[in-house]
């Protein structure tokens, strides 16, 4: 299961103590419901240690722990894998300092991290806006110097504040769990090994001829990051519902188009059918802010990959 990122903004309101305790009890029950499906993979990511959380203004988590019926849930929460702060979940060497997320005009670090890492947000249900199984965020990304300014887009992140919200995500959670078992890539150590196994591991991906050399020559510290991204992409195509997801698959990590100047200067490649095409859509892998440029062909349900390596033009 992707990591669960606690939405810090849901913990900054003022509410009756009984409402806060009730919301926390329901949230932990929702988290436990996820863990029942994928116990090894469920990780709670917060901005601070769990035992230091403040659930609302003037309401430290200790007040909830002492409330009726909370002790067992608290013990289960303590046994879970946790990370803090939110940024600790990012790959080594990555800060995403050029990307910011907001919800209704307010910065949301936790929900933004959930989108960046292909995870889900979780919130205390103390405001109506968090009563949803998906949350729309505004994503702002700084452009390169030649383009200037920033690009703003709306993105959607899976979300839960109650067990009912979790129910809507159960097919996704189960698929993620099964895929993790099916696509165990831990034994692959070199780019050459990864390339040799691509046809079997990633049947929905196709590579332009020159990508073979790029992959075989990958530095060892990049191999894990690249194989993880390729597995996410292949799985996204497998799960793609063309009737509902008209824009294409949900890739599992932040995917962005290249900016106009760079698209023109660097992103034209000869595709597998011999035609010149733009491969300006890209995602990142780290450390070192590597780039993977690709096209998705809806008709064939295949991803064509044109570049795996450093930022084009560098």
Query: Long-range contacts made by residues 190-198, C-beta under 8 angstroms, separation at least 24?
Result: 190/218, 190/220, 190/223, 191/215, 191/216, 191/217, 191/218, 191/222, 191/223, 191/226, 192/216, 194/218, 194/223, 194/226, 194/227, 194/230, 198/230
The tokens describing 238, both together, are 């497998």
Give yes or no for residue 147 having a pLDDT over 60.
no
| Percentage of the chain lying above the pLDDT 90 cut | 61
Express each pLDDT in 244-295 by its tens digit. Answer: 888 899 887 778 888 888 899 999 999 999 999 999 999 887 655 689 999 9
* pLDDT(148) > 90: no
Predicted confidence (pLDDT) per residue in 75-108, tens digit: 999 988 899 998 888 866 677 888 899 999 999 9
pLDDT tops 60 at residue 193: yes
pLDDT at 223: 85
Q: How many CB atoms lie within 10 A of CB 160?
A: 27
Kindly tell me if the per-residue pLDDT of 179 is higher than 70. Answer: no
Question: What distance in Å separates the CA atoms of residue 45 and residue 53, rounded to the nearest whole number?
Answer: 12
How much is the pLDDT for 251? 86
User: How high is the pLDDT of residue 80?
Assistant: 87
Contact yes or no for 176/207 (Cβ under 8 A): no
Angle CA 302–306–308, to nearest 5: 110
Confidence at residue 183, expressed as pLDDT on a 0 to 100 scale: 54
- DSSP characters over 266-310: H-EEE-TTS-EEE--EEEEETTTTEEEEEEEETTTTEEEEEEEES
| β partners of residue 305 | 207, 294
Q: Which two tokens stand for residue 299?
A: 């008709």
The residue-averaged pLDDT of 102-122 equals 92
Q: pTM for the full model? A: 0.68
Q: Is the pLDDT of residue 241 over 80?
A: yes
């Amino acid at each position: 299961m992707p990591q669960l990122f606690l939405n810090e903004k849901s913990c900054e309101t003022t509410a009756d103590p009984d409402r806060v305790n009730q919301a926390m009890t329901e949230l932990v029950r929702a988290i436990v419901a996820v863990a029942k499906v994928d116990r090894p993979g469920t990780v709670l990511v917060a901005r601070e240690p769990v035992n230091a959380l403040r659930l609302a203004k003037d309401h430290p988590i200790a007040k909830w722990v002492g409330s009726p019926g909370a002790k067992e849930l608290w013990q289960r929460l303590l046994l879970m894998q946790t990370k803090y702060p939110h940024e600790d979940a990012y790959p080594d060497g990555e800060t995403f300092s050029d990307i910011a997320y907001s919800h209704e005009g307010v910065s949301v670090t936790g929900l933004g991290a959930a989108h960046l890492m292909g995870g889900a947000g979780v919130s205390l249900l103390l405001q109506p806006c968090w009563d949803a199984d998906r949350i729309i965020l505004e994503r702002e990304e700084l452009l390169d110097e030649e383009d200037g300014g920033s690009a703003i887009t709306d993105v959607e992140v899976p979300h839960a504040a109650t067990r009912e919200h979790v129910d809507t995500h159960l097919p996704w959670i189960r698929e993620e769990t099964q895929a993790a078992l099916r696509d165990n890539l831990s034994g692959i150590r070199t780019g050459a090994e990864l390339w040799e196994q691509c046809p079997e591991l990633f049947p929905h991906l196709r590579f332009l001829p020159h990508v073979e050399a790029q992959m075989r020559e990958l530095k060892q510290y990049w191999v894990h990051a690249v194989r993880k991204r390729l597995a996410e992409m292949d799985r996204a195509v497998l799960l793609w519902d063309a009737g509902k997801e008209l824009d294409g698959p949900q890739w599992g990590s932040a995917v962005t188009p290249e900016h106009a100047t760079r698209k023109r200067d660097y992103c034209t490649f000869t595709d597998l059918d011999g035609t010149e095409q733009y491969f300006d859509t890209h995602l990142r892998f780290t450390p070192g802010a590597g780039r993977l440029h690709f096209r998705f062909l809806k008709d064939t349900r295949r991803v064509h990959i044109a570049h795996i390596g450093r930022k084009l033009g560098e």
